[in-house]
Amino acid sequence: MTRLQSMAPAKVNLSLRVLGKRPDGYHEIASVVAFADAGDELSLEPADRLSLSVAGPFAAYAGPGESNLVLKAAHALGERIGGLRAGKFLLTKNLPAGAGLGGGSSDAGAALRLLAEANGLKPDDARLLDAARTVGADVPVCLVPKARLMHGIGETLSAPLELPPLPAVLVFPGKPLATAPVFAALKIDGLPRRSAPYQPADIPRSFGALIEFLKAEPNDLESTARALMPEIGLVSELLSRTKARLVRMSGSGSAVFGIYETPEQAKKAAGKIRAEKSDWWVEKVSLH
């Protein structure tokens, strides 16, 4: 086996509806998910034993040891495939943790892709998806990182969506926000009544129509997250002062994104926010 590499792109929830709470405590959601052309980097090289090394600007915030989702994904797949060839993973952590950008889940998805390549597994091997589901609710959508609809607790996925180019800016205010407290504080009864989950045909393919659709489909977690972390509101306010056509929190926060009509507008907005908030993480990306 030669050294293999894969990007673990940032996952962005363009919308996130909370449909209800299940008896087991998990929340049913409906979400339009896209991926950025920026993210963590993961490599796998031959070694006698499974291991993980972490580097990069956010290395200190990666899950420690065996709790890291890269190793959890490898163990989960190894439980389903006897004699699985693994090796040494090197994770370059470029995405902030606790940002709602699915960094750990995307890392796990990349690990499963690399293990599939190293072991000659087809991308649609059912054991890959089964392993992904055991690692985390967001891991299945990160297994093949393409825009999709997510339903259930994240385990039910549509076929890939055809989205228009979406120039965007991702902003993390430097403070992480864990998912559990946001869902714990969420008041389901206070949310507007939601209809049936999305269907792929519901998602417009033109830029303008998609923006208008998304404006009517907010992130139901955002107001709760803002109450827990007021900095999210500040990020949204700064992005709204630029030419963003849509400003929204991703996932359970604390990162916020702005979508622009052109890459030039996104680049200018990113530069402006960096100049005002040099201690924030700001990334100009394209969502797909």
Distance CA 212, CA 102 (A): 25
What pLDDT band is residue 6 in, cutting at 50, 70 and 90?
A: very high
The tokens for 107 are 């890392």
Q: DSSP states of 146-183 as a string? A: S-EEEEETTTEE-SPP-PPPEEEEEEE-S----HHHHH
Give the model confidence (pLDDT) of 252-284 as tens digits: 999 999 999 999 999 999 999 999 999 999 999
Mean pLDDT of all residues in 194-210:
88
The SS3 call for residue 27 is: strand
Looking at residue 121, the DSSP 8-state letter turns out to be -
- Residue 101 token pair: 């950008």
**If pLDDT is split at 50, 70 and 90, which confidence band does 179 have?**
very high
Beta-carbon contacts of residue 153 (< 8 Å; ≥ 6 apart): 22, 26, 27, 28, 29, 137
Q: How high is the pLDDT of residue 66?
A: 80
**What would the pLDDT profile of 70-85 be if each residue is shown by its tens digit?**
999 999 999 999 999 9
Residue-wise burial string across 179-210, b where 16 or more C-beta atoms lie within 10 A, e elsewhere? beebbeebeeeebeeeeebbeeeebeeebeeb
**At residue 238, does pLDDT exceed 80?**
yes
pTM score: 0.96
pLDDT for 48-106, tens place per residue? 999 999 999 999 988 777 889 999 999 999 999 999 999 999 999 999 999 999 999 99
Where in the sequence numbering do the catalytic residues fall?
11, 138
Domains of the chain (ranges, CATH numbers): 4-157 (3.30.230.10), 166-287 (3.30.70.890)
